[in-house]
Structures are given as C-alpha cells and as structure tokens.
A = this chain, B = another copy of it.
Amino acid sequence: MPYINIKITREGATKEQKAQLIAGATRLLVDVLGKNPATTVVVIDEVDTDNWGVAGEQITERRKQGK
C-alpha cells in the first residue's frame, strides 16, 4: 500500500526513465519492507525550473550559472 511521490524538475526525463523510477521505487519498498507491489503507487511530478528553488534561487537561474 505504500505511496511514493517523486518530484523532479521538468528537464526532459523520458518515458523510459520514468518507467525505471516507477519500477525501482516499487522494488525498493518490496525489498526493504516486504510491501505488496500490486498496491504500491508511484506518482512523479515534473516541476518547471521557474517553480523550484534551492538556496533561495530559482533553478532556472542556477542552471544559467552552471550550478
């Protein structure tokens, strides 16, 4: 029954990469806690770089500075 939410910046993750995140997160919960994969839910949120900040700065700006 676990629920896993993965938030990443929207910077071109492919459908295949998302499939890997879903499979890997589900396996993690099965391996570590013995959870039932059939009811394990993974939701990926892709967030615009204008809408994500670290250290008080937009990721958009940090990318321009090579961070």
Given known contacts A1-B9, A5-B5, A7-B2, is B22 in contact with A25 (CB within 8 Å)?
A: no
Q: Given A4-B4, A5-B4, A7-B4 in contact, is the A54-B40 Cβ separation under 8 Å?
A: yes
Size class of the A contact interface (CB-based, 8 Å): 35 or more
Flag if B40 contacts A41 (CB, 8 Å).
Answer: no
Supply 20 further A-B pairs (C-beta < 8 A) apart from A25-B28, A41-B41. A1-B52, A1-B59, A2-B7, A2-B8, A4-B5, A4-B6, A4-B25, A5-B7, A13-B33, A17-B33, A19-B53, A19-B61, A26-B53, A27-B56, A38-B54, A39-B54, A41-B53, A42-B52, A43-B51, A44-B51
